[in-house]
Amino acid sequence: MREACDLILKDLHGLMEAVRTRAEEHRRTPMIGRTHGVHAEPMTFGLKLALWYAELSRDITRVSRAREVISVGKLSGAVGTFAHLPPSIEADVCRTLGLEPAPVASQVIQRDRHSELLSALAIAGSSLEKFALEIRGLQKTEIGEVEEPFARGQKGSSAMPHKRNPIGCEQIVGLARLLRANAGAAFENNALWHERDISHSSVERVIVPDSFIVLDHMLRRFTRIVAGMVVYPDRMKENLERSRGVVFSGTVLLELARRGVSREQAYEWVQRNAMRAFHEQRDFKQLLLADPDVTRVLPPADVERAFDLNEQLKHVDHIFGRVFQEVAV
């Protein structure tokens, strides 16, 4: 299992490198951030990737710790008493194998250790699920901001030649379900009878290799997807502008509040113009500039500044600094 952990760790590092490269590339590629699936405020594509990078570093920490937790051995006999061999032999054998002797054991190493391992793999799987789900969301036809790599000449769909489907990401999303199911089975394996019953064994023969193989496949496939994914900055810009500026309403709200308008009053003014922009398909900023309630408090130049993308994104470099320098990997 240690070798399998090492492989997972290596591939986690590989994915991190791929993520970092694309994050730097798109550090300042603006796009709309979405909460609840709905446009929220501007961000950059690189920021999404920075978040992935930081989460992968936590996955590495979890898998590394789990690797250490399972790197124990025991040679203390049928019930853990060293009845037939002294502890010194256990120490020698463990040293040879690069293991720590478990301080105490029954017939077997206790399965809370394996539970920790399978949990770490399942959580790493859910990280990849989240990232793959992101790409699936951005590849929806109407959004079209990112696409999985699609080899020239590759068929998209047997029946529908126009389609380019994020099937790699969909597979990764599915496989995460297997990993958490396996972790659930691992949790059940800990409570063995007395000095051990062997019920855990048939379970582990399935879940341990399956989880390692599945996660490693996910990591390798997703690394290729990240390295090769096609990003459409024009489409990101187009989508960002699609809502005619209402994504800056939070800034306007705050600017009004900062100038002494009650939050409730400011909310009403902003929402009223946002709804008009939405329903009448008009530009939000122009509506605000034409609303005397607003302009009485917020001079036109300040309205303009509230719509300044660079102003919104001025802390991106700071975040990159925190993620890529401060997070030890």
> Quick check: 181 binds its own copies (CB under 8 A)?
yes
Q: How many residues bind its own copies (CB under 8 A)?
A: 138
Amino acid at 29: T
Amino acid at 271: Q
Q: Which of 20, 26, 27, 62 binds its own copies (CB under 8 A)?
A: 62
Token couple for 183: 């972790």
Q: Which of 4, 146, 277, 288 binds its own copies (CB under 8 A)?
A: 277
> Quick check: 224 binds its own copies (CB under 8 A)?
no
> Quick check: 95 binds its own copies (CB under 8 A)?
no
> Quick check: 119 binds its own copies (CB under 8 A)?
yes
CB of 287 to its own copies, least distance (A): 12
Q: Determine the interface stretch with its own copies among 7-15, 223-231, 289-297, 313-321 (rule: CB under 8 A).
A: 313-321
> Quick check: 87 binds its own copies (CB under 8 A)?
yes
Amino acid at 31: M
Query: What pairs with residue 30 in β-bridges?
Result: 44
Cα–Cα distance measured from residue 12 to residue 215, given in angstroms and rounded to the nearest whole number: 10
CB of 233 to its own copies, least distance (A): 16
Q: Which of 19, 65, 8, 62 is nearest to 323 (CA)?
A: 19
Place of tokens 């990101």: 236
Active-site entry in 84, 157, 199, 262: 157
Active-site entry in 13, 26, 36, 194: 36
CA Rg value for the chain: 27
- Given a contact cutoff of 8 angstroms between Cβ atoms, the answer to whether 129 and 169 are in contact is no
Q: Find all residues with CB under 8 Å of 293, minimum gap 6, and list them.
A: 269
> Quick check: 202 binds its own copies (CB under 8 A)?
yes
Q: Which of 28, 130, 224, 237 binds its own copies (CB under 8 A)?
A: 130
> Quick check: 305 binds its own copies (CB under 8 A)?
no
Q: Which of 80, 149, 228, 233 binds its own copies (CB under 8 A)?
A: 80
CB of 140 to its own copies, least distance (A): 4
Cα–Cα distance measured from residue 154 to residue 322, given in angstroms and rounded to the nearest whole number: 40
Q: Determine the interface stretch with its own copies among 4-12, 14-22, 30-38, 285-293 (rule: CB under 8 A).
A: 30-38
Task: Tell me if residue 36 is catalytic.
Answer: yes
Q: Find all residues with CB under 8 Å of 191, minimum gap 6, and list them.
A: none
Q: Which of 18, 219, 229, 270 binds its own copies (CB under 8 A)?
A: 270
Token couple for 165: 């489907």
Q: In 26-111, where does DSSP find H-type helix?
A: 45-70, 87-97
Catalytic center residues: 36, 157
